[in-house]
Structures are given as C-alpha cells and as structure tokens.
C-alpha cells in the first residue's frame, strides 16, 4: 500500500476521532450543563411588574385555608381563584402559606419571618382564616363551655388578632385583607345552641377588631353552614367538604370583586 493511501487513511481516522470527541463533549454538555442552567429559580418580580401581569393573592392561616377536607385539594382559596378568573378575565396567581392546626399565636410568629413578609409585601389580596383552633382546641371546648374560661380565651384571641392585623398592615398597608370568620360545625349536636352562641360571639369580636383597620373585611360564613351543616362537612365533621369550601370561595370572590370596584 502506498504511503499516500496510508496517509489518507490516517487522516480520515484522525478526523473521525475528532468528530466523535466533539460529539461526546456536546452530549455531555446537553445532559449536564444545559439541564442545570435551564431549571432557573423564579425571578422575584417587582410590585409594578407583578401588578401589570397578574393579580397576586397570598393566603394565611390554618387548615381551612390549607383546604383540608376538600377531596379536590382546592379549598376555598382555589375556588376564589376560579371565580375571580371567570369574573375578571384576569390572570390570578396565589401563594398559600397556611399551616394545618395553626393558632393565632403561631401565625404571629410566622408573620415575623422575612420570606413571609416578602410575599405579603407583593400581595394584591390577602386571605386569612384563624381562630378555629384557638376556640375549639381539638374538641376541648365541647367538653367545657364554661363562660368564664371562654371569655378569657376570647379576650386573648382578640388581642392576638389585633397583633396579626397590625403585622400585616406594617408590611402591606394597601392590599385588602379578607378574614374568613368562623362557622359552627357542631350545631346539630345536643349542645348546638350553646356552641352556636359561642361562635357568634367570637365572630362579633373578630369583626370589631377588623373594623379598626381600613380594608380588612370580616367575611361571614356562619349562615352558610347553619342549615343542613352535615351536607357541607367532610367526614371528620369539622372541616368543610368540596361543597362547603365552594360556598365560602364564592362568597369571598363576590366581596373581592365588590372591593376592587370600590377602589
């Protein structure tokens, strides 16, 4: 075989090897570097950019805001979002910061966290449920409806609710806050009359506290569950089911659209 042919074969082999090496490098880059760089952290948009793009909702509180009992996983927050999309034709984004079992003292601690404050600062609307665990205390209230003890708990809750509203307003003094008041999941029990009176009393205190702040609206839900309560409760007989949350969500959405019209 001539030297010329051998040289050509060597050159072809070298070129093939070079192309293979380049292909391998590109493949490695695609599998590792490109994948890592393409999964970017969401940009923290400014308030102006956010408001031009979408309506931002931040939800706070306990298991009711978390949606416990709704088999669809939406909870009232999800139904509020659905209703607002239909009524306003506006893109809605939401952040749910609620914690199951949370009481008012724990929410105060949560509101002092920097990340929570950042989320609240950017919110156009704030939703909140709190107080049910303070009142019912895992069912203890049903065993002890002592007026003296309940009055102490109610006074303590009122003070903590005021602190909650103050913390929210310190971070964001413009967004309307919709505080969802309590319903009575026990009104069909033997002591339903007594527990209903307690719930109405707590709701009155909450509405009085809310009235001291501009655009903090106390949303009534007691009447939504007053008749045929079990039709709207989950199997635990405490949290709402899908239909119960849907009723709450529709009411909150109606008030939001009215408030947006007033502003």
Q: Tokens 């339903």 identify what position?
A: 192
Going by C-beta distance under 8 Å and a sequence separation of 6 or more, which residues neighbour residue 134?
Answer: 103, 104, 153, 156, 157, 160
Reported as half-sphere exposure (CB side, CA atoms, 13 A), residue 159 has a value of 7
User: How far, in Å, CA of 94 to CA of 78, rounded?
Assistant: 9
- The pLDDT value recorded for residue 60 is 99
- The pLDDT value recorded for residue 140 is 65
User: How far, in Å, CA of 58 to CA of 47, rounded?
Assistant: 14
Among left, alpha and beta (phi > 0; psi -120 to 50; other), residue 221 is alpha
- The pLDDT value recorded for residue 4 is 55
- The pLDDT value recorded for residue 29 is 32
Task: Please give, one letter per residue, the 3-state secondary structure of the chain.
Answer: CCHHHHHHHHHHHHHHHHHHHHHHHHHHHHHHHHHHHHCCCCCCCCHHHHHHHCEEEEEEECHHHHCCCCCCCCHHHHHHHHHHHHHHCCCEEEEECCCCCCCHHHHHHHHCCHHHHHHHHCCCEEEEECCHHHHHHHHHHHHCCCHHHHHHHHHHHHHHHHHHHHHHHHHCCCCCEEEECCCCCCCCCCCHHHHHHHHHHHHHHHHHHHCCCCCEEEECCHHHHHCCHHHHECCCCCCECHHHHHHHHHHHHHHHHHHHHHC
Cβ atoms 161, 216 nearer than 8 A: no
Q: What is the largest CA-CA distance in the chain?
A: 111
Whether the CA torsion 173, 209, 214, 63 is positive or negative: it is positive
- The pLDDT value recorded for residue 45 is 30
Cβ atoms 54, 88 nearer than 8 A: no
Per-residue pLDDT of the chain (263 residues; tens, 9 = 90+): 555 555 555 555 555 544 444 443 333 233 232 232 222 323 333 334 455 578 999 999 999 999 999 999 999 999 999 999 999 888 999 999 999 999 999 999 999 999 999 999 999 999 999 999 999 876 666 667 777 888 999 999 999 999 999 999 999 999 999 999 999 999 999 888 999 999 999 999 999 999 999 999 999 999 999 999 999 999 999 999 999 999 999 999 999 987 765 55
- The pLDDT value recorded for residue 19 is 46
- The pLDDT value recorded for residue 145 is 74
């Amino acid at each position: 075989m001539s030297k010329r042919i051998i040289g050509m074969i060597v050159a072809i082999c070298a070129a093939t090897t070079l192309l293979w090496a380049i292909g391998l490098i590109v493949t490695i880059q695609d599998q590792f570097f490109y994948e890592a760089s393409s999964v970017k952290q969401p940009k923290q948009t400014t308030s102006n950019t956010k408001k031009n793009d979408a309506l931002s909702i931040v939800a706070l509180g306990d298991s009711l805001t978390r949606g416990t009992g709704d088999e669809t996983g939406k909870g009232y927050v999800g139904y509020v979002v659905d209703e607002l999309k239909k009524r306003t034709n506006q893109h809605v984004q939401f952040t749910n910061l609620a914690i199951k079992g949370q009481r008012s003292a724990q929410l105060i601690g949560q509101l002092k966290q920097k990340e929570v404050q950042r989320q609240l600062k950017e919110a156009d609307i704030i939703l909140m449920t709190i107080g049910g665990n303070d009142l019912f205390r895992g069912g203890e209230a049903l065993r002890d409806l002592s007026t003296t003890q309940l009055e102490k708990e109610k006074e303590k809750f009122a003070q903590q609710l005021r602190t909650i509203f103050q913390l929210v307003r310190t971070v964001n003094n413009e967004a309307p806050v919709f505080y969802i008041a309590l319903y009575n999941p026990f009104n069909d029990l033997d002591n339903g009359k007594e527990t209903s009176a307690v719930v109405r009393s707590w709701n009155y205190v909450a509405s009085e506290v809310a009235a001291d702040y501009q655009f903090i609206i106390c949303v009534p839900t007691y009447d939504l569950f007053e008749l045929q309560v079990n039709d709207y409760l989950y199997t635990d007989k405490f949290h709402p089911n899908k239909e119960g949350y849907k009723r709450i969500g529709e009411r909150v959405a109606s008030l939001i659209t009215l408030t947006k019209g007033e502003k």
